[in-house]
Amino acid sequence: MISVAEAEARIIAALRTTDAETVAIAEAAGRVLAAAATAKFDQPPAPVSAMDGYAVRADDTTGLPASLRVIGASPAGHPFNGNLNEGEAVRIFTGGVVPSGADAIVIQEDTEARADSVLIKSAAKPGQHIRKAGLDFAKDSVLAAAGKRLTARDVALLAAGDVASVSVHRKPVIAFAATGDELSRPGEARKQGGIVASSGYGLAEMITRWGGEAHDLGIFPDTAEAIARIADADADLIVTLGGASVGDHDLVQKALGPKGFALDFWKIAMRPGKPLIFGMLGGTPLLGLPGNPVSSLVCAMLFLRPAITALLGADTKAELRAATLIRDLPANDQRQDYLRARTEVRDGKLCVEAFMIQDSSMLSILAKANALIVRPPNASAAKAGDQVDILPLEL
Amino acid sequence: MISVAEAEARIIAALRTTDAETVAIAEAAGRVLAAAATAKFDQPPAPVSAMDGYAVRADDTTGLPASLRVIGASPAGHPFNGNLNEGEAVRIFTGGVVPSGADAIVIQEDTEARADSVLIKSAAKPGQHIRKAGLDFAKDSVLAAAGKRLTARDVALLAAGDVASVSVHRKPVIAFAATGDELSRPGEARKQGGIVASSGYGLAEMITRWGGEAHDLGIFPDTAEAIARIADADADLIVTLGGASVGDHDLVQKALGPKGFALDFWKIAMRPGKPLIFGMLGGTPLLGLPGNPVSSLVCAMLFLRPAITALLGADTKAELRAATLIRDLPANDQRQDYLRARTEVRDGKLCVEAFMIQDSSMLSILAKANALIVRPPNASAAKAGDQVDILPLEL
């Protein structure tokens, strides 16, 4: 058995980042940049007004009230192209370019409009309510670095920088196959004593949300001939669901060995999910997740998520959070434990409680949970009020 | 000016939940249930083994080692259909149905296989390693309630309960229009002193992620004739970007009044984003977001997100989180403030620091932020070490 950290490191070491492709900015959210995206121009491109009001020379507002001649207007998108001289003002609106000669904006509320002039009732300081050219970003500055996964806000920023398309890593194709004679699909006739294939439906959504392209290869019976067909999948990473426990493991070895499968490891000191296969199937990495649906989904969060992140060339480090225990926990054995748990905010403090039942077959508990409490190997008993590490369940 | 809470309540009160539609389980993640989804059968459907080993009668394992005759096997998907009598064992695998007559599982590691028998080396307690029928869920029990937004884990649970399709609320169509003569699209020729339309690109992703269907109506010039065309949009909610500040507000009123626009409110005591229009355009709610990209995206998080959630029939309550201030904050004025900020975990504690510059035109700061610090109206100054409310920025 190897540790969770070693397993993750070995998986990541075996992966190669996908190639770059170009996508339009409207399709770029959630993608990972293959190259830095830089601004095409200064933002704002010229000094602009931060308010509705009048562009003035601050010097002209020392004696109050000051009456200034209005020589034009500068709404956003329609700059006033003349020069503003002593005793003059230009009507201006938020986002309007500040005319040359002006050095301050007096907000509308501090003025009184006349026929061709404006009465200024408050002294202006130079620079007041003016956004300088390049305040937000300068031409050629990096708006988002290579390896960044783009948020909706990043995409807005890139658009503002006139970036019409970006170079991103191709979404890795994650092909997954369920194995098991007991499985049927939802809505199909169930087998005698059989159950319904479930984790693949959750997994497909997780793969998509983590940035991959999910390919459902289907359900494979527990025979070497059937499992061998999984090797035909054209993918960046193949995932099997089930087929990783003692007897199954032999089957997967027997089925995929002739196809060139080279095992790296198949046991991790963790719960749920000890039996987890990883190796190379020809040139394609293969991750064999446990068959219990809770184990398979938890192991997907722990190993498939960083694998997809690594394939995308992004930072794989997951940030643990701390929370305060609501109820005592017993000491842990040598396996790292991931307890299904529920957090709640009490007096602004993040608190967490593990479910009493931690059976790895119970999807109902996993669905109710919103976090996993991470218990390191051989952790001593923990009391209510102690801090523990948690992993939030985001999807 | 009305408060943020009142604005949200008024917006939500004006919305009607979308109709229900049926979608396959593979398309259901992220959707909101219009009706409870219930299990089609008990899970597990029969008592099953939680481990690989032997199904036995616990009574037969009191004298150790006990030699039991192996009368068959019960792998997952292939139940052993006979009865297990005194002195007998059945080879069993994880997920295999426990044969009638057996009441315990002895794990493989505690046995020694012989030709036609097995040596049991550890006494079994009745019920040991057996998952009872219905342990995870019972037939007809609610797997996910109406109004629940389905996670990937929920979808797996529904699949396990043989739910092939679910009734969900139709994705509300959110049509959005940018207004402003200064705007061009990324990659197009920029206008003199103009800027590039940006918030719509972020908004489209947010709408999608919040469960809506984003329709980009395009960029509209600052004329009443152009803005009036926005009224033609066929949508559950129309959003305008810009056109909400003093002069613009008049323009929107002038343009949309003849189209039947009935204003509800247009000023909120908040920063960024005071000017925010809400009203009904005929039968369609219209939300006019401010033109500054930071203001528009922050206001979208605060008002459009709960609006979409309400249209979907889900719970709109957003949970504020608490974090510890890294740096002092000054007292607040009468407007509720949403400070762009960055959280980090220090010694397991969630800490937060506001950016020094809070200019509402600066998308670069919003992109760097990962949270907003919420400062209530007239909040007194806060010191480093104090707890403040935050809203995490999730996308």
pLDDT at B92: 94
Q: Which residue of B has its CA nearest to A159?
A: B198
The minimum CA-CA distance between A205 and chain B, rounded to whole Å, is: 6
Q: What are the tens digits of pLDDT across the range A218-231?
A: 999 888 888 899 99
CB contact under 8 A, B395 and A152: yes
For chain A, the structural domain boundaries read: 4-16+171-311, 22-43+141-169, 48-131, 321-392
Q: What whole-number distance in Å separates Cα of residue B262 and Cα of residue B284?
A: 10
Of the listed ranges A236-250, A372-386, B109-123, B196-210, the one predicted with least confidence: A236-250
CB pairs under 8 A between A and B: 278
A273 pLDDT higher than 80: no
Looking at residues B65-79, what average pLDDT do you find? 91
Put simply, the answer to whether A321 touches B108 (Cβ < 8 Å) is no
CA distance B63 to chain A (A): 28
B154 contacts in chain A (CB < 8 Å): 367
Q: Domain B48-131 belongs to what topology?
A: Molybdopterin biosynthesis moeA protein; domain 3 (2.170.190)
Q: Do A322 and B348 touch (CB under 8 A)?
A: yes
Can you name the residues that pair with A73 across neighbouring β-strands?
A91
- Write b or e for each residue in A65-97: b if 16 or more Cβ atoms lie within 10 A of its Cβ, otherwise e: ebebebbbbbbbbbbbeeebeeebbbbbbbbbb
The shortest CB-CB distance from A151 to any of B143, B163, B395 is to B395
pLDDT over threshold 60, residue B249: no
Specify whether the CB–CB gap between B244 and B273 falls below 8 A: no
Instruction: Provide the pLDDT for residue B83.
Output: 95
Placement of tokens 């459902």 in the chain: A216
Residues A238 and A221: their CA atoms lie apart, in Å, by 17
For residue B318, give both structure tokens: 């957003």
Helix (H, G, I), strand (E, B) or coil at A223: coil
Question: What pLDDT score was predicted for residue B244?
Answer: 57
Asked if A157's CB is within 8 angstroms of B366's CB, the reply is: yes
* DSSP code for A178: E
pLDDT of residue B316: 83
Q: Which residue has the higher pLDDT, A282 or B375?
A: B375
Q: pLDDT, tens digit, for every residue of B180-216?
A: 888 999 999 988 878 899 999 999 999 999 999 999 9
User: B73 φ, ψ to 5°?
Assistant: -135, 150
Q: What value does the mean pLDDT take over residues A297-316?
A: 95
What's the whole-number mean pLDDT along residues A301-324? 91
Contact assignment for A393 to B151 by CB distance below 8 Å? yes
B300: which DSSP letter?
A: I
CB < 8 Å to A349, chain B: 322
Look at residue B313 in the predicted model and tell me its pLDDT: 95
Mean pLDDT value of segment B299-320? 92
Q: Which CATH number fits domain A321-392: 2.60.40.650, 3.30.465.10, 3.10.20.30, 2.40.340.10?
A: 2.40.340.10
Q: How confident is the model at residue B95 (pLDDT cuts 50, 70, 90)?
A: confident
Q: Pick from A97, A153, A162: which is nearest to B196 by CB?
A: A162
Percent share of chain A, pLDDT over 70: 98
Class of domain B20-43+140-169: alpha beta
Q: What pLDDT, on a 0 to 100 scale, did the predictor assign at position A248?
A: 57
How much is the average pLDDT of B102-121? Answer: 94
Average pLDDT over chain B reads 92
Partner-chain contact A153 B393, CB within 8 Å: yes
What is the fold of A22-43+141-169? Molybdopterin biosynthesis moea protein, domain 2 (3.90.105)
Contact: A159, B46; criterion CB under 8 Å: no
Of A165, A199, A291, nearest to B95 by CB-CB distance is A291
What pLDDT, on a 0 to 100 scale, did the predictor assign at position B245? 59
The arithmetic mean of pLDDT across residues A200-215, rounded, is 97
pLDDT tens per residue, range A234-256: 999 999 998 655 555 567 778 88
Q: What is the pLDDT of residue A193?
A: 78
Cβ pair A277, A288 in contact under 8 A: yes
Residues of A in contact with B245 (CB under 8 A): 52, 93-94
- Rounded to the nearest angstrom, the minimum Cα separation between A173 and chain B is 17
**CATH T-level assignment (fold) for domain A4-16+171-311:** Molybdenum Cofactor Biosythetic Enzyme; Chain A (3.40.980)
Q: Which of B155, B180, B204 sits opposite A77 (nearest CB)?
A: B180
Contact A327, A339 (CB under 8 A): no
State chain A's mean pLDDT as an integer.
92
CA closest to A138 among chain B residues: B364
Q: Indicate the residue of A52, A205, A389 with minimum beta-carbon distance to B152.
A: A205
Give the model's pLDDT for residue B246.
55
